[in-house]
C-alpha cells in the first residue's frame, strides 16, 4: 500500500524538516514547500492525502491558502501548525470549517514531537 502524502508548508526550514520527519515516522510521505506558489503547484500536480500549514509566513497568508483549498473542494484533513495567538488560530479554523474544510489542530509552536506524531497517527488512521 502506498503511503499517504502529506503536503506541508512552513517558511522555517528547521521546522519544516521537523514536521517532515514526524510525518515520515507516522507513515506519511511528506512533501515540503516553503512558498505559497510552490504549495499550490505541488497541490495541483498531485493532490495530497493531507495538508499541514503554518498561518504566518512572509509574503502570504495562511487564510489565503485555506480559501485556495476550499476552492479546490479539498475534502481531506487540513492541520494548522502555527505560532500565532490562540484566537487567531481558532478563527482560521472556524473560517476553514465554514468553507467546508476538515480543519484539524491547531498544534501550537513550539511544536512537541510527541504531540505532532500522535496527531498525525490519529489522522492517518482516518484516511
Matching residue, cell 490519529: 122
Model's pTM, two decimal places?
Answer: 0.93
Q: 63: domain range?
A: 5-126
Q: Which residues pair with 50 in a beta bridge?
A: 6
Looking up residue 21, the CATH number of its domain turns out to be: 3.40.50.2300
pLDDT for 70:
98
pLDDT for 67:
95
User: Distance between CA 10 and CA 94 in Å, rounded?
Assistant: 21
Q: What is the mean pLDDT of the chain?
A: 92
**Minimum mean pLDDT range among 50-59, 63-72, 90-99, 102-111:** 50-59
Determine contact, residues 57/13, Cβ cutoff 8 Å: no
Q: What is the pLDDT of residues 16-75, one digit of tens each?
A: 999 999 999 999 999 999 988 999 999 999 999 999 998 877 677 788 999 999 999 999
pLDDT for 117:
94
What percent of the chain is predicted at pLDDT more than 70?
98
pLDDT for 44:
98
pLDDT for 61:
76
What is the tally of structural domains in the chain?
A: 1
Q: Edge-to-edge strand order for the sheet containing 77-82?
A: 29-33, 5-9, 50-53, 77-82, 102-108
Amino acid at each position: 500500500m502506498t503511503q499517504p502524502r502529506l503536503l506541508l508548508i512552513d517558511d522555517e526550514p528547521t521546522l519544516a524538516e521537523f514536521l517532515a520527519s514526524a510525518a515520515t515516522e507516522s507513515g506519511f510521505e511528506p512533501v515540503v514547500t516553503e512558498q505559497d506558489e510552490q504549495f499550490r503547484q505541488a497541490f495541483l500536480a498531485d493532490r495530497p492525502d493531507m495538508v499541514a500549514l503554518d498561518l504566518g509566513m512572509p509574503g502570504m497568508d495562511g487564510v489565503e491558502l485555506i480559501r485556495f483549498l476550499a476552492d479546490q473542494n479539498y475534502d481531506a484533513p487540513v492541520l494548522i501548525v502555527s505560532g500565532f495567538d490562540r484566537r487567531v488560530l481558532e478563527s482560521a479554523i472556524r473560517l476553514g470549517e465554514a468553507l467546508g474544510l476538515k480543519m484539524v489542530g491547531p498544534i501550537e509552536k513550539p511544536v512537541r514531537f510527541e504531540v505532532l506524531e500522535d496527531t498525525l497517527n490519529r489522522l492517518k488512521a482516518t484516511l
